[in-house]
Structure 1
């Protein structure tokens, strides 16, 4: 709010506080006193602003606690630090070691999704737009800087340039994986690959003359590491350099890391508040630089991941093999760094070519023909859109976890539409009789759609999207889907078996069947265990943990009512309910299925789960036999991709076996654990109503028979609570098996 009297007073204050001078240069003045006096003149609701200061400026620049504003504040210590900067300062080896290690930490922290402004751009040497002409020249009067430090920085800059160019392919996403910012990066662009390698040779030669110095020995290690990483990145950026890149990455892992000291600190070299120069591009979250050891581990892990994954892509000879490789990437925990995932995506598909040679359409047709003897007429449905969606299916496995799940659920509708088109093409090729028509193309698309559906739902477990009480619903629905999956593969196998020349296709389908069957049995076991835990009040919905107040009880009643349950069911399975296939299990069907389980004793549920885990293990063991030889690469890739499933089966089998043999289970199986689900599920509303009436100080308006039943059920609930708290502790975790809960039953 502007007022004449107020403006006059503040204008006088400003004239007293600031002596305005006519000058061509910017003059910075301390306005602390002016602001202090000005705020005393302002009353609540008033705003003082010059005419050019818009509301947009106010909203974006004067936001309280906005770090983009706070970062511009320089303390006395900051000024003292900045004053120490001197690009002409003569350095010794210990000082060069400290600067090089700090830059190495900045570089590796950048790889961990930090921004350039928080890491690499904090180095004042790095942000100089032109280096001294004496870089790499033996006649330099500052040899450590020009012959050691600058070559290492040039090599670092070129490595960053290769990484930035890879990020420019947009395989990974801004903010989710890497903070790009709006600053145009400067990585000593005037230096080429040959220039950087020549300078590293100069640094190596100089340091080898100083071998007696401990700092020189450690700088030599950094030079060797930089050389191999630089050459590896250079080969990765070329179209056909993967083999040479793998050699350099292998050499990098063999370098002996002998960094025992951090050198001698040089003040002024790193400007931690350099972001004040780029306020619009500054990230909103502060970070801590990774330690030297953590930085080295990050580099070695990236080299190891690139060597392993690119080597696997080179060796893959079939689409099936590639599927297993990418499925294994998806469930890795923790995931590879964003740069590694981007390189793998580029190596798989770039500029519309798969692995640099095969078109997307050809790749999609080959994927179908590996499992289906589809005629040329039916394959006409494989157009550019379908081929792109298939390539995206592979690339999705390299995205971060949340994006994997989002894309999987989003693409379900696209695969469903493609299946409808392919079905019509199959009918045109073979006729409309389902008993005679193998529906090769549409069957393959349906198979892919089922894989996408299952991966999307299991990604929710990995990301802890689902609450404990939702586990029965999740694994119950997945059991139905996987059962349809097994039946679908059996149908495909029946048509393959009719021809004697279909052995390779049958082998691949048998591996897919073993996988689907094992996961179906594991899902069934997880469902039964989760249902039993829910009945034992271990998995309790948040609204059941009420405080006993009337409002909490009334809220629990509303959330337990059927309309609320239907709404939650529809929300969780919204993407699946819109598919043409598999048949969607609606809410009424789900409740009927749960009612059937409620008739089983809790002890029986645990025993049936144990039997299901045994069948899952047998299916996995059977899948290991479906290979052309013991060295079959597809079989080896299948085993690697299914290790988490196998471990989850074994871990849960051991845990359940201990429970079934425990004293607690033997004594409780005929008592509390023997009660059917009627007591746990069907009277929940009655119990809540009784609690609500008691909280209101009213007598329940029910007959004596119902009151007696409610009392009996409340007693059962108290007994179960005592059993769980005093005799049997049940918990679950994912850990090494991110897609599958591992249950733990502890007998105190």
Structure 2
């Protein structure tokens, strides 16, 4: 990379001065034989190359245009720095790093730190002696060649580990992630231990040096230790040693307290610290993405983002000690072990134990005793069960997993049908195996429906059907839970979970029905508009693979039933939308007042109660719904407002005070 940005005199720019010659006729004559709208292609000349030949004056696309405010002087990586200036550089780099984690590109965030591109020059062995002689005592060279170099190496290695994890596709929300590294090294070949050792050397020098005051020594050392700790957290296996992992989180939080108590001051206007960043660096990197200058968040917003990062690791640390599928709802699977410690057999055992409250061995023994042949159907069923562990983006993953759940439901139906033929009583707990799969499948369908509200995917016309469909799915789910309540052991956590879920789903069904009725007038029964939108929104339910499964699907959307459902509602003079919401609020309030959600919530019982509180608030926002179906004609559906910041699933009735 060039060390300087050269200012080109205006008179030498194309189109300026006295030597401009109009070449329009040259191009006109050359293209005379071409037909209008035709193209001429050359070997090895792409459309991108052709577009790159134009200087169109658009700052985001024009690689030759640099606005005056973005022009930077020559950058010298060996310019001495004060400790407080270095603190400011490290903090600003943290800001850009958090912006990368939030979804921006490396070329627009982390790579704007110019020391990254001159890292090899920060080497004591190759520094010219004359530079060592000219260093100001208040700006010791170790700040650059030891402290800053180690910190930049730690930053790049953290980015490398994050990049590797994202590239595996093993985390949620990677759809918009850009993997472009612009041919800039993230120290891929450098061992993590070497980088940690460099950070430790920098920390030790800061601890012992007397070249500047203790205030900035501590401030810089806290930032070095935080960087080292974040790197260690990214490398550590939380499942192998959760207690060590937790100690790293605690150490990082201690450093955050020190950093907040020693904020870096804004450098003076003449400070060379400002030259350490080039927001337009993407112009000089190998990238195919237009330039975007990312605003730098405030220091407090940056530290809040780092806190959120630590909170996420804290949650993982707690989850690593919770060996419950119902708590996780999904699991880390590396192709060999689940949660890095359990075999696939553990998953099957936990699945049935947590849903039915009995050991899997009981199920196996019962099936073997009543199965007519020597070939057990259980291995096939277990293989199907394992398919839901695949890890892509959550909502899309849930929609795709519904087919696998249906296959499991079909397999369990075949097993119980055969067991019934061989005299297993209908009230035996093993006969509820199909409902076990159906419960998990209906839970996934419910989340697919409601998460679309949270993601603001539905148009106004689609929302009434979504609420009606949710109510139908909840009805099926409640029917499954009713069947399980009769057979699941009363003293088990599974029974407590089913009781909690039954009350919660009853409340959700009531408020979903009330919302459907209240916004029913938003529906359009124009076939040409409804059907395409319906099949596009619920395409997951119409995969051709469903035709290969004998058992009919349960809980799939049925558009043809909507018209009759609307007619039934209008004829039900006893139904009260407001009354249904009041019933929902009463059920939820009762669950909150119990003080414990029971079941499999474990350490997250408080979070579950907060979820209930939020639903109670949603009920309060719907107190203005009509009291009866007769009042629907006078109800202004325009007062229903959906705002994910108020509640992710349900609207509220806007009052005159709200509108003002």
Q: TM-score range by the shorter chain?
A: 0.7 to 0.9
The match for 2:37 is none
Q: Deviation of residue 612 (structure 1)?
A: 4.2
- Could you tell me which residue of structure 1 aligns to residue 199 of structure 2? 197
1:475 aligns to 2:467 (yes or no): yes
> Deviations along 1:702-729, whole A, 9 cap, x unmatched?
xxxxxxxxxxxxxxxxx666xx89xxx5
1:293-312 per-residue CA deviation (whole Å, 9 max, x = no partner) reads: 222221122112211x1222
Is 2:398–2:444's contact at 8 Å kept on the other side of the alignment? yes
Contact 2:114–2:278 (CA<8 Å) still a contact in 1? yes
The 1:129/1:280 distance shift into structure 2, 3 A limit, reads same
Partner of 1:522: 508
- The residue that corresponds to 1:233 in the other structure is 234
Cα distance per residue 1:493-513 (max 9 Å; x no partner): 3233xxxxx445x53144234
Task: State the match for 2:370 in structure 1.
Answer: none
Q: Distance in 2 between matches of 1:602 and 1:286?
A: 59
Matched, 1:590 2:500: no
Match in the other structure for 1:158: 157
Q: Which residue among 327, 340, 346 is the counterpart of 1:356?
A: 340
Q: 1:733 to 1:88 in 2, by over 3 A?
A: closer
2:526 maps to what in 1?
561
Contact 2:151 2:224 in 1 (8 A): yes
Q: CA separation of 1:583/1:67 partners in 2, compared to 1, >3 Å: closer, same or farther?
A: same
CA shift digits 1:261-299 (9 cap, x unpaired): 133531543233322333444456442233322222211
The aligned counterpart of 2:643 is 733
Contact 1:91/1:144 (8 A) holds in 2: yes
Which residue of 401, 415, 431 maps to 1:425? 415
Does the C-alpha gap of structure 1 residues 737 and 136 become closer, same or farther in structure 2, counting only changes over 3 Å?
Answer: farther
Deviations 1:592-648 (A, max 9, x none): 221121134699332243234434544676794755xxxxx6455355246324421
- Contact map agreement 2:119 2:149 (CA 8 A) in 1: no
**Aligned counterparts of 1:136 and 1:430: Cα–Cα separation in 2:** 82
Q: What's the CA shift for 1:484?
A: 0.9
Q: Does 1:442 align with 2:456?
A: no
Q: Is the 8 A contact 2:642 2:651 kept in 1?
A: yes
1:487 offset after TM fit, Å? 0.9
Q: Work out whether 1:413 is the aligned partner of 2:406.
A: no
* Inter-partner Cα distance in structure 2 for 1:349 and 1:151: 34
Preserved contact between residue 122 and residue 270 of structure 1 (Cα < 8 Å): yes
In structure 2, the CA distance between the partners of 1:55 and 1:240, relative to structure 1 (3 Å rule), is closer
- Where does residue 391 of structure 1 map in the other structure? 389
Q: How does 1:115-130 map to 2 (within 5 A)?
A: 115-128=105-118, 130=120
Distance in 1 of aligned mates of 2:530 and 2:21: 60
Note the C-alpha offset of 1:565. 4.0
Q: How big is the shift at 1:66?
A: 7.7
CA distance in 2, matches of 1:296, 1:70: 34
Alignment partner, residue 262 of structure 1: 266
Root-mean-square deviation (Å): 4.0
Deviations 1:376-403 (CA, angstroms, capped at 9, x unpaired): 645323444531x2223xx45xx4xxxx
Are the structure 2 counterparts of residues 449 and 380 from structure 1 closer, same or farther at C-alpha, using a change threshold of 3 Å?
A: same
Of 465, 480, 503 in structure 2, the residue corresponding to residue 488 of structure 1 is 480
User: Separation in 2 of the partners of 1:462 and 1:447?
Assistant: 22
Q: Is the 8 A contact 1:519 1:616 kept in 2?
A: no
**Residues 467, 720 of structure 1: CA spacing in aligned structure 2 closer, same or farther, 3 A cutoff?**
same
What is the CA deviation profile of residues 134-178 of structure 1, one whole-angstrom value per residue up to 9, with x for unaligned ones? 2799x9653332243223323333333333333343324797353
Whole-angstrom distance in 1 between the partners of 2:557 and 2:108? 51
Give the number of the structure whose alpha-carbon radius of gyration is greater: 1
CA distance in 2, matches of 1:244, 1:183: 36
Gaps of 5+ in 2: 1-7, 33-39, 134-140, 357-361, 366-375, 547-551
1:359 CA drift (Å): 1.8
Q: Is structure 2 residue 640 aligned with structure 1 residue 675?
A: no
- Offset at 1:239? 6.9
2:91–2:264 Cα contact (<8 Å) kept = no
Shift of 1:368: 2.0
Deviation per CA, 1:403-449, whole angstroms, max 9, x where unpaired?
x3222222212221232123223334453889356444433222211
- 1:55–1:174: structure 2 CA closer, same or farther, 3 Å change rule? farther
Partner residue, 2:452: 460
- The yes-or-no answer on 1:531 pairing with 2:517 is yes
Relative to structure 1, the CA distance from residue 32 to residue 201 in structure 2 (aligned partners, 3 Å threshold; closer, same or farther) is same
Distance in 1 between the 2:561 and 2:90 partners? 65
Length, aligned pairs only: 595
CA distance in 1, matches of 2:23, 2:348: 69
Give the direction of change, closer, same or farther, for the CA distance of 1:618–1:171 in structure 2 (3 Å limit): same
2: CA distance between counterparts of 1:720 and 1:366? 49
Structure 2 CA distance, aligned partners of 1:409 and 1:45? 58
Q: How far apart in 1 are the matches of 2:503 and 2:482?
A: 11
Map of 2:247 onto structure 1: 247
Counterpart of 1:705 in structure 2 is none
Q: CA deviation at 1:461?
A: 0.9
Q: How far apart are the structure 1 equivalents of 2:157 and 2:380?
A: 45
Unaligned 5+ residue runs, structure 1?
1-27, 327-344, 497-501, 542-558, 628-632, 681-718
Query: Would the aligned equivalents of 1:409 and 1:575 in 2 still touch at CA under 8 Å?
Result: yes
Q: TM-score, normalised by structure 2?
A: 0.77
Give the structure 2 partner of residue 654 of structure 1: 620
